Structures are given as structure tokens and as C-alpha cells.
């Protein structure tokens, strides 16, 4: 049975986003929509995370200088900005073949709109390639437990052989 919804999980820093980027590079941008997340670095240390839309759009998701109620560790999360970013992606457009979401994790889940979008994508007939946190209760465990998803764990041992 072919599974159209693939969730990539693994420990932080193991190479989930790198795998997503390799898949995008291999298949090309045609009929692909979504985003991946990259680190923002300053003077050799990580200071935040940037959303990188496959349409070329970029936006800060989280940064140590962002103040506000939504925080993961030392990073403040710009939930409103994230929702504006999502609004410009048109993930469920009729001509989309593959939807890429990197990642379904703590920072992104502050957004109720994001959770709705993830559910809509999973309930659609579209192909999905997404990263998801290795650990997590509630929404994360619910999504990972769906019978219509394939869960692939990236490890240091298998990461170079996955694509």
C-alpha cells in the first residue's frame, strides 16, 4: 500500500530538515508548496529560526529577541507572523501535488490556524511530506497515531541512506 502522508521524526539536529531539502532538490519545485525552517545564526550561535517558503518567501518564526507569551526555551515565537506567512502559501490549491511542512512542533503549534491547516492537509487527497517532533503529547501524538500516515524516524545511522 502506498502512503501519501509521510511524517519524518527524529532527535533535534539529526537531519530531518536536510532530508526535506534533499527531497525538494530531487523532485523540483513544480507542483510543490510549503516551507522548511532554517536556523538564524549570529557570531556562531543560534539566535532563532526562519521560515523558508518554497515560493521564495521568508519570515522569522522565533528569535531570542522576540518578547511575548509564546516561548520555547529562550526563543519567543511570532505566532501572528507565522499565520500571515501560512496565509500566503495556498497549501490546498488544486494544482498542488506535494505539500511540505517542516515542522509540526512546539513553536508551530502555538498557532490554532496551523493545527487546522495540518488537519485539513491530512484529510485531503494531497501528498504530504512533513517533519514532526519526536516527542510530544496531544496534537503531536494524535497526528503520529493516525492510520493514514507513514512515520519514518531519521537516525544518525540511517540518515545518509534515506535519499
Instruction: State yes or no: pLDDT of 2 exceeds 80.
Output: no
CA angle 116, 153, 131 (to 5 degrees): 30
CATH class, range 5-154: alpha beta
Angstrom distance (rounded) from CA 163 to CA 156: 14
Q: Which string of b and e fits 112-136 if b means at least 16 CB within 10 Å?
A: eebbebbeebbeeebbbbbbbbbeb
* Entry pTM: 0.92
**pLDDT band, very low/low/confident/very high, at 163 (cuts 50, 70, 90):** low
Inter-residue contact 103 to 16 (CB < 8 Å): yes
**pLDDT band, very low/low/confident/very high, at 146 (cuts 50, 70, 90):** very high
**Residue for grid cell 494544482:** 95
**pLDDT band, very low/low/confident/very high, at 162 (cuts 50, 70, 90):** confident
Stated length of the chain: 163
Alpha-carbon torsion angle 21, 128, 27, 86, nearest 10: -60
Inter-residue contact 128 to 5 (CB < 8 Å): yes
Inter-residue contact 80 to 48 (CB < 8 Å): no
Amino acid at each position: 500500500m502506498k502512503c501519501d502522508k509521510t511524517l519524518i521524526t527524529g532527535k533535534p539536529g539529526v537531519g530531518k530538515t536536510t532530508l526535506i531539502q534533499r527531497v525538494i532538490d530531487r523532485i523540483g519545485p513544480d507542483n510543490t508548496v510549503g516551507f522548511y525552517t532554517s536556523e538564524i545564526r549570529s557570531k556562531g550561535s543560534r539566535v532563532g529560526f526562519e521560515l523558508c517558503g518554497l515560493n521564495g518567501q521568508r519570515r522569522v518564526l522565533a528569535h531570542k529577541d522576540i518578547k511575548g507569551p509564546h516561548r520555547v526555551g529562550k526563543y519567543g515565537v511570532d505566532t501572528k507572523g507565522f499565520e500571515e506567512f501560512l496565509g500566503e502559501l495556498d497549501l490546498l490549491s488544486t494544482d498542488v501535488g506535494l505539500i511540505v511542512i517542516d515542522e509540526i512542533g512546539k513553536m508551530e503549534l502555538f498557532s490554532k490556524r496551523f493545527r487546522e491547516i495540518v488537519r485539513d492537509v491530512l484529510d485531503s487527497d494531497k501528498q504530504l511530506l512533513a517533519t514532526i517532533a519526536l516527542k510530544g503529547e496531544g496534537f503531536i501524538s494524535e497526528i503520529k497515531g493516525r492510520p493514514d500516515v507513514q512515520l519514518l524516524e531519521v537516525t544518525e545511522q540511517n540518515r545518509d541512506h534515506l535519499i
